[in-house]
């Protein structure tokens, strides 16, 4: 493999930007697989399905850099289900303390789903819309 120089018009037609390694389609595949399994599992599935190796840390960076829009309800809301919990995160070193990180999720009318990790304000703002 090497460097493939592309002109601005070619980049626009491909739907990508300068210095971007992955195509929009590859990014989409990475996001979908990462949503359904661990980043390590997404890495393995991408390589098995597409024959292209993308590390699990790259999958994680893609997910963290992607902006998500919460869905908006088109009718009056009569039912909201909210759930939350904590995830215990341990360090690999024995004897070090662990931390608890919180997450919240909500279902509106059984059709719209939203979730937030360590950011309750984002979920609250979405529910108040």
pLDDT digits (tens, 9 = 90+) for 14-40: 777 776 777 788 888 999 999 888 899
Q: What percent of the chain has pLDDT over 90?
A: 12
DSSP 92: S
pLDDT digits (tens, 9 = 90+) for 3-13: 677 777 877 77
Q: Cα–Cα distance between 70 and 37 in angstroms, integer?
A: 21
Name the residue ranges covered by the structural domains of the chain. Answer: 8-65, 80-128
pLDDT along the chain (129 residues), means of 10: 71 72 83 89 92 90 83 73 81 82 82 78 78
Own/partner long-range contacts of 95-104 (Cβ < 8 Å, ≥24 apart):
none
Secondary structure E strands in 1-129: 80-89, 99-108, 112-117
State the pTM of this model: 0.50
């Amino acid at each position: 493999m090497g460097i493939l120089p592309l002109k601005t018009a070619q980049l626009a037609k491909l739907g990508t930007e300068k210095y971007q390694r992955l195509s929009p389609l590859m990014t989409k595949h990475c996001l979908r697989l990462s949503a359904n399994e661990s980043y390590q599992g997404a890495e393995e599935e991408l390589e098995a399905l597409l024959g292209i190796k993308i590390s699990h840390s790259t999958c994680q960076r893609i997910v963290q850099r992607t902006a998500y829009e919460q869905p908006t309800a088109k009718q009056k809301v009569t039912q909201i289900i909210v759930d939350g919990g904590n995830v215990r995160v341990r360090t690999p070193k024995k004897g070090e303390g662990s931390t608890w990180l919180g997450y919240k999720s909500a279902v509106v009318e059984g059709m719209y789903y939203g979730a937030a990790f360590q950011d309750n304000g984002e979920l609250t703002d979405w529910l108040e819309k």
